[in-house]
Amino acid sequence: MRGGRNVLLGLALLLFTGVTLGADADTARHGTAEKPQGSQPPAQAREVPKLPAGVSPALYAIAVPPGAEPSPEKVTLGQQLFNDKRLSADGTIACANCHVPDKGFVDGKPQADGINQQRGQRNSPTVLNAMFNASQFWDGRAATLEDQAKLPILNPIEMGIKSPEDVVAKVRGLPEYAETFQKVFGRAVTYDDLAAAIAAFERTQFAGDAPFDHFIGGEENAMDDAAKRGWALFNGKGRCNACHAANAVSPLFSDQKFHNIGIAAHKQNFVDLAREALQTVRTGDQKQIDELAIQTRFSELGRFLVTKNESDVGAFKTPNLRNVGLTAPYMHDGSLATLWDVMDHYNKGGIQNPFLDGGIQRLGLTEAEIDDLVAFMFALTSSQFADLGQKELTRQQALKDQRPERDTEAAMGKKGNFGDLAPNPDKMNPADIGVF
């Protein structure tokens, strides 16, 4: 057992401080990171930038494929493209419209706005720490940041340019880009290079240095008492760590998997919708899947659009919780206004449907316990967004009396048939385990 504990401590030091390299770090990418080839140095030896607390240098190196390192020149070009509305068909929408840097790289809207005042079906996820995602978008339909950068430009509702060739022609016609692409890539504009530049910029948008990171590093007073109680509930009665684990082998607050938690069951009959989709969806047709996800009622099928597996009906990716306090409204469709609404949804056992994830059951949390869990989640806000986090906490607190998802009787087992509660650990406080 002593040897096993040493392994865990080594992994923890890797994932929270980057001291050593542990085998489990590679699984955070689920095999999507490319292997070094030829004379390229191994991930352990590659140079990484100075990183904030809570972002591991080893994990960073693994998450950046060889050849995709964000050089200053490539990042500058990518940032310019990220903010350039001319990449849309009508000149009104840039990446930054839906991923606003000053707002934590979200837009604060339930669903994203596109060209011609159109609105899609999905909420805009944050770009922060997207470089660590095993796949991109709520349904994982893009494997890499480069693929993610390409699709919105071509989607008819989002940026609306008809083809990659049209994108390239448009950018080549902008004089300020011609010289820059030659300097950065050694050739004229290509769609792959354009996406690579945007992805390079996005790879500089990592975030840590939250009160939680300092607490887990041994600073006892880095989180207040409410957040500490929330961290214990997160790992105990609330069972949040079943999907949002943050521990010695996972600093990402996401299992990188897809789950049906019942959100989309508000709107659709999943069984009928899935049957219809089986006749429509062309597996592997990324453009079709992207358009169905953004433009149609099939959006609520989630991961099923990508895999056509029955187990993926209504399943969406577990989001990273870092800076979650900034990213309201919540869920893939932006249907929950506050973190109190999110907790109410889980507390009552989600929304019943034939494809509900087996781990979803009522929690029986009291109002005080919900408050503590929300306090903990706001303790995941990076120091650079501390003022914005406090402002957002105040805004959400003002909405606490407006709780459409709240069902205390269901949460406490006084109505319905949502099963018994899981046992609550009582021998030790989970929040005290693994503080170095």
Compute the chain's Rg from CA coordinates: 22
Catalytic member of 47, 146, 158, 367: 158
Asked whether the CA dihedral 213, 63, 103, 51 is positive or negative, the reply is positive
CA distances for 44 relative to 35, 68, 71, 135, 265, angstroms: 12, 16, 18, 22, 44
Dihedral of the CA atoms 343, 138, 239, 274 (nearest 10)? 90
Beta bridge partners of 136: 142
* DSSP one-letter code for 317: E
SS3 assignment for 69-117: CCCHHHHHHHHHHHCCHHHCCCCCCCHHHHCEHHHCCECCCCCCECHHH
d(CA 71, CA 68): 9
Give the SS3 label for residue 258.
Answer: strand
Are 245 and 257 in contact, with CB atoms under 8 Å apart? Answer: no
Residues with Cβ within 8 Å of residue 143, at least 6 apart in sequence:
32, 135, 136
d(CA 225, CA 160): 49
E strands, 207-334, in order: 258-259, 316-317
Confirm whether 165 is a catalytic residue: no
d(CA 181, CA 318): 36
Beta bridge partners of 250: 247
DSSP 354-368: TT--TT-------HH
d(CA 280, CA 288): 10
d(CA 338, CA 331): 10
Are 305 and 289 in contact, with CB atoms under 8 Å apart? Answer: yes
Which residues are identified as catalytic? 158
